[in-house]
């Protein structure tokens, strides 16, 4: 018998090694090497060791407890064992004997799963051990908020694990006693042997004791997250009916435990156990269910505001603090300013940066003009600001990433050794347009060429938003850099990113980890080669900092030295802030505590603490010492490009529409509730929010802000607008500007209706539609100037069968006037030229023609004039080729234009 089992045991051992141990080793070492590459091994090691300790401690205790209880239940001889006959030719099976043989493997099996469950709580345990007080107490129990955020979850975990262990142990022991004959279920009575009765009584009493602790410490605190009344948090009913009932239930649970023990001692466990469980359940249902319902309906509801007013005040105050809207600055506007040309001149930086290019049309245009090859993709356009030629300019930029799925031939060599990175970016000012209706490009082409002082010195993008596969660098295969006409330019990676392939052991584990034998067998990959993986910047940050929530929109920055960096905003959140509003994703507290900078070339990752007073990030800093650095250590050129993140601003503006009413009576009545207007798109409704460079009222300089308007709920007129400031010492400041409630300020929807009703605009749009062109209406922009509002909306035209939207008209609305002209300059001229004698060119920049050679100044020779005319013709021909998608002709015309410009330079 033993010999027949030996081959099976060996086969099982081999299978475990091949399918569990070796793959686990591959994953372990690949992760360890990757964390070492980032110098974040403290995250990996502490995570792993904490999980392992929890697994061993919880699993070992659970196995021991179950084993000892089963052994105790199986003590002594079974006088009348229960036999089960499986068939005529099979001997009857002694169930009690079989249970005794399975005691050890069952205990170990349960311990493994119990340990795995406990190990998943590693973050809760570490946060509790390194907890940081908030310095604020809850208004009911007067405990520090840190108790609810750090201690209470850990206590809940411990009580949950102990309750699970007690329940499983009881569930395992009862059948053992039953099959041993120590528990006999008769038609009208339950007979339990004395020894079994005492044992079962203790096991049944333990859940009652644990329930008492849970009720007294956890469930009472849970009332601070209740939704019984018109708020989140403990309401009148919770505190005057449910709370006393919970405490009574806790005492009764202890009484029930005593009753069960007495029943076990008196050999009447069945009757006493029924009495304990039935009595406890009856009191729980009546005290925590029926009584609160009656009180809410007949006592609270008729005078709800009077009874709930103090608790509404707690809810409003907690929500405002937890979501960071208690420090919003408020300014009142008169709403009576009349815009003139003088107003526009005083706000020239604002007018200079009116955004005429929307992200979606510009993304399409970039894709047609600047992707260059089919395997390059622009997937997103981001707002930013740069100093260009001495002016503070808002720009839109899009990284040019490599999309492996678009490679013409998808082989292992192409995907993982040759085509390894994206190349550069395209950048355009938000308001400049060529005479063909196309964006002016500040950075363009391959390799990236730029205008002015803005330079890209290291354009390769090895880490980005599309880089989801692994690549090898430093191999014997040439690494593609960028196309140059009919030839390709190749490069060699010189960065420190990635993991060295090394010896055959490391190479084998990497091959196993990536699931490709070609890594092991390839002659192109050497021991000096490096493998770059986890290259998607969102996934990279999420793996390195798994306890943070990430913003939806990472963005690229061109650093002062010409390198490319990604900035990813990250948040600390909790679902345990008492009395605070609970978001759809279960958060009750949120801070933009971290800004992560990722180098697009070498993947290095630096986490800057942007909210040093946040207790949660202080706690994680103690958990993982050395991985966070203060924001002050960020270089000034990068600091000039940080921005207030999107996710938290959306939440704050959505909450502020209601929670700007900080008085309980006003909040309850919702008398002055606002809403954020939305832009309806085919796939979703997007909140009306925009990045703008503008000079705020009463501020001396223009700055980069994130702006959202508010309208009264159910109305279309404007009530207020909020900004998040992004520049310098003002970064992170929220300010709201309120219009007088008695004045009518047109809102975005009302302006859109006026535009739709304008006969001249409707006629022109209809004419374009009849010609087969697609008219694309850009986002309506709300431009605050002093205390007035200017509305601007671009119109794009896309030819039938074409793919490049061209800016054809600009709509400008002010009060009840709407005009449409070919340019912003002309539209402003039509609206405001009567208010000043100054030429409009002093207010807004003239439309420029991208890439065209500058006009000659002074007297030029006839030969030079002829060259200038030829240059303009070649340039126009290249633009025509771009629109038609004829890239061969485009390249030829650009080449001829370059040769002509060189001749012009020699003749000067």
- Which residue bears the tokens 């060295």? 500
For residues 273 and 257, give the distance between their C-alpha atoms in angstroms, rounded to a whole number. Answer: 9
Structure tokens at 657: 């529409």
Helix axes 22-38, 41-73, angle to 10 degrees: 140
**What pLDDT score was predicted for residue 265?**
85
pLDDT at 605 over 90: yes
Question: In which band, very low, low, confident or very high, does the pLDDT at 886 lie, cut at 50, 70 and 90?
Answer: low
pLDDT value for 790: 92
**From CA 671, how far away is CA 567, in angstroms rounded?**
41
Confidence tier at 741 by pLDDT (50, 70, 90): confident
Among 263-277, 542-556, 831-845, top mean pLDDT goes to 542-556
According to the per-residue pLDDT averaged within each range, which of 24-33, 73-82, 858-867 is highest? 24-33
Least trusted range by pLDDT, from 81-95, 644-658, 706-720, 795-809: 81-95
The yes-or-no verdict on residue 854 having pLDDT over 50 is no
The pLDDT of residue 389 is: 87
pLDDT tier, 87 (very low <50, low <70, confident <90, very high otherwise): low
Most confident of 271-285, 567-581, 710-724: 567-581
More confident residue, 245 or 760: 245
> Would you say residue 145 has pLDDT above 90?
yes
How many helices (H) and strands (E) the chain has is answered by 31, 37
CA distance 886 to 17: 58
> CA–CA separation, 211 vs 29, rounded Å?
43
pLDDT digits (tens, 9 = 90+) for 30-62: 999 999 999 999 999 999 999 999 999 999 999
- Tell me the CA distances in angstroms from 864 to 852, 856, 889, 901, one per residue in order: 15, 9, 25, 11
Interval 627-638: pLDDT, tens: 999 999 999 999
Residues with Cβ within 8 Å of 827's Cβ and at least 6 positions away in sequence, in order, are 792, 810, 811, 812, 819, 820, 821
What is the average per-residue pLDDT within 503-525? 94
Identify the band that residue 533 occupies on the pLDDT scale cut at 50, 70 and 90.
very high
Q: Which of 26-35, 543-552, 725-734, 891-900 has the lowest mean pLDDT?
A: 891-900
Residue showing tokens 């009208």: 188
Lowest mean pLDDT among 151-165, 320-334, 882-896: 882-896
Give the pLDDT band (50/70/90) at residue 17: confident
Average pLDDT, the chain: 88
Least confident segment among 184-193, 363-372, 602-611, 734-743: 184-193
| Cβ 574 vs Cβ 585: under 8 Å | no
- Whether the CB-CB separation of 176 and 74 falls below 8 Å is answered with yes
R_g of the chain computed on alpha carbons? 35
544 by DSSP, 3-state: which?
A: helix
Rounded CA-CA distance 895/888 in Å is 11
Q: pLDDT of 452-504, one tens digit each?
A: 788 999 999 999 999 999 999 999 999 999 998 778 999 999 999 999 999 99
> Which of the residue ranges 39-53, 499-513, 678-692, 767-781 would you say has the lowest mean pLDDT?
678-692
The answer on pLDDT for 885 being more than 70 is no
> Rounded to whole angstroms, what are the CA distances from 74 to 78, 103, 171, 203?
9, 9, 15, 15
Q: Round to whole Å and give the CA distance between 860 and 838.
A: 31
Pair 359, 426: CB distance under 8 Å? no
- How far is 572 from 574, CA to CA, in rounded Å? 7
Please tell me the predicted confidence (pLDDT) of residue 882: 62
Rounded to the nearest 10°, the torsion over CA 247, 249, 253, 259 is 120
Q: What token pair was written down for 684?
A: 């979703």
Task: Tell me the Ramachandran region of residue 212: left when phi exceeds 0, alpha when psi lies from -120 to 50, beta otherwise.
Answer: alpha
CA-based nearest residue to 425, from 485, 378, 483: 378
DSSP H/E element including 254: helix 243-265
Task: Give tens-digit pLDDT for 112-127.
Answer: 999 999 999 999 999 9
End-to-end C-alpha distance for the chain, whole angstroms? 102
Query: What is the percent of the chain where pLDDT is above 70?
Result: 90
Confidence check: pLDDT of 86 > 80:
no
Residue 740 DSSP label: -
Q: Of 596 and 348, which is predicted with more confidence?
A: 596
Q: Distance between CA atoms of 623 and 50, rounded to whole angstroms?
A: 11
């Amino acid at each position: 018998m033993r010999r027949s089992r030996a081959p099976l045991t060996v086969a099982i051992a081999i299978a475990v090694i091949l399918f569990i141990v070796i793959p686990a080793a591959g994953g372990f070492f690949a992760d360890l090497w990757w964390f070492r590459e980032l110098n974040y091994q403290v995250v990996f090691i502490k995570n792993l060791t904490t999980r392992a300790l929890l697994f061993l401690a919880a699993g070992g205790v659970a196995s021991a407890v179950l084993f000892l209880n089963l052994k105790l239940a199986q003590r002594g001889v079974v006088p009348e064992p229960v036999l089960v006959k499986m068939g005529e030719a099979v001997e009857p099976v002694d169930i009690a004997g079989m249970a005794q043989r399975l005691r050890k493997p069952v205990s170990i099996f349960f311990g493994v799963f119990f340990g795995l469950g406990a190990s998943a709580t590693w973050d809760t345990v570490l946060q509790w051990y390194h907890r940081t007080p908030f310095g604020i107490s809850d208004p009911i129990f007067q405990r520090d908020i840190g108790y609810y955020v750090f201690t209470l979850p850990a206590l809940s975990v411990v009580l949950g694990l102990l309750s699970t262990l007690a329940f499983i142990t009881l569930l395992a022991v009862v059948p053992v006693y039953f099959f041993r004959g120590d528990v006999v279920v008769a038609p009208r009575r339950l007979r339990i042997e004395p020894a079994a009765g005492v044992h079962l009584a203790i096991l049944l009493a333990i859940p009652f004791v644990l329930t008492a602790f849970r009720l007294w410490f956890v469930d009472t605190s849970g009332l601070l997250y209740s939704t019984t009344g018109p708020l989140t948090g403990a309401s009148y009913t919770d505190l005057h009916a449910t709370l006393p009932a919970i405490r009574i239930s806790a005492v009764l649970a202890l009484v029930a435990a005593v009753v069960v023990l007495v029943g076990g001692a008196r050999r009447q466990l069945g009757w006493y156990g029924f009495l304990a469980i039935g009595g406890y359940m009856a009191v729980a249902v009546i005290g925590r269910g029926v009584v609160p319902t009656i009180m809410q309906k007949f006592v609270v509801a008729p005078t709800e505001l009077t009874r709930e007013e103090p608790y509404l005040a707690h809810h409003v105050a907690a929500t405002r603090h937890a979501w960071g809207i208690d420090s919003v600055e408020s300014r009142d506007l008169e709403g009576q300013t009349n815009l003139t040309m003088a107003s526009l001149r005083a706000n020239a930086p604002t007018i200079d940066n009116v955004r005429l290019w929307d992200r979606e049309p510009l993304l399409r245009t970039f894709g047609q003009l600047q992707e260059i090859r089919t395997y390059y993709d622009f997937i997103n356009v981001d707002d930013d600001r740069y100093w260009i030629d001495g002016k503070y300019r808002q720009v839109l930029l899009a990284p040019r990433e490599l999309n492996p799925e678009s490679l013409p031939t998808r082989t292992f060599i192409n995907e993982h050794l040759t085509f390894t990175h994206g190349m550069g970016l395209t950048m355009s000012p938000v308001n400049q347009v060529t005479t063909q209706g196309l964006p002016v490009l500040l950075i363009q082409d391959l390799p990236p060429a730029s205008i002015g002082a803005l330079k890209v010195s290291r354009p390769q993008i090895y880490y980005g938003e599309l880089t989801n596969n692994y690549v090898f660098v430093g191999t014997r295969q040439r690494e593609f850099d960028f196309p140059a006409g009919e030839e390709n330019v190749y490069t060699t990676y010189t960065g420190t990113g990635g993991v060295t392939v090394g010896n055959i052991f490391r190479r084998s584990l990497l091959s196993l980890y990536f699931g490709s034998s070609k890594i092991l067998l390839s002659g192109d990959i050497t021991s000096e080669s490096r493998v770059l993986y986890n290259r998607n910047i969102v996934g990279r940050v999420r793996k390195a900092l798994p306890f943070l929530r990430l913003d939806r929109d990472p963005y690229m920055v061109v650093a002062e030295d010409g390198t490319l960096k990604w900035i990813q905003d990250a948040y600390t959140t909790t679902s345990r802030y008492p009395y605070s509003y609970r978001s759809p994703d279960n958060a009750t507290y949120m801070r933009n505590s971290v800004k992560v900078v990722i180098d697009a070339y070498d993947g290095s990752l630096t986490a800057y603490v942007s909210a040093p007073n946040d207790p949660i990030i202080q706690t994680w800093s103690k958990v993982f010492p050395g991985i966070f650095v203060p924001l002050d250590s960020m270089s000034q050129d990068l600091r000039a490009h940080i921005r207030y993140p999107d996710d938290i601003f959306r939440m704050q503006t959505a909450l502020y529409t209601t929670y700007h009413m900080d008085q309980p009576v006003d909040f309850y009545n919702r008398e002055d509730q606002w809403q954020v207007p939305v832009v309806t798109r085919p796939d979703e409704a997007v909140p009306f929010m925009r990045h703008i460079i503008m000079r705020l009222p009463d501020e001396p300089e223009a700055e980069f802000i994130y702006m959202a308007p508010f309208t009264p709920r159910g109305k279309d007129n404007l009530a207020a607008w909020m900004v998040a400031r992004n520049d310098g010492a003002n970064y992170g400041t929220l300010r709201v500007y309120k219009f007088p409630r008695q004045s009518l300020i047109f809102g975005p929807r009302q302006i859109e209706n006026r535009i739709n009703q304008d006969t001249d605009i409707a006629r022109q749009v209809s004419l374009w539609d009849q010609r087969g062109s697609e008219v694309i209406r850009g986002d309506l922009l709300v431009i605050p100037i002093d205390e007035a509002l200017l509305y601007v909306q671009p119109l794009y035209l896309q030819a039938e069968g074409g793919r490049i939207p061209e800016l054809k008209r600009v709509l400008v609305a002010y009060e009840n006037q709407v005009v449409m002209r070919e340019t912003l300059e002309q539209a402003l001229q039509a609206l405001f030229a009567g208010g000043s004698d100054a030429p409009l060119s002093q207010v807004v920049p003239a439309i420029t023609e991208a890439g065209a050679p500058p006009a000659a100044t002074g007297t030029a020779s006839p030969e030079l004039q002829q060259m200038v005319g030829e240059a303009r013709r070649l340039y126009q021909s290249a633009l025509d080729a771009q629109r038609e998608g004829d890239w061969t002709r485009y390249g030829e015309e650009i080449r001829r234009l370059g040769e002509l410009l060189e001749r012009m330079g020699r003749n000067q």
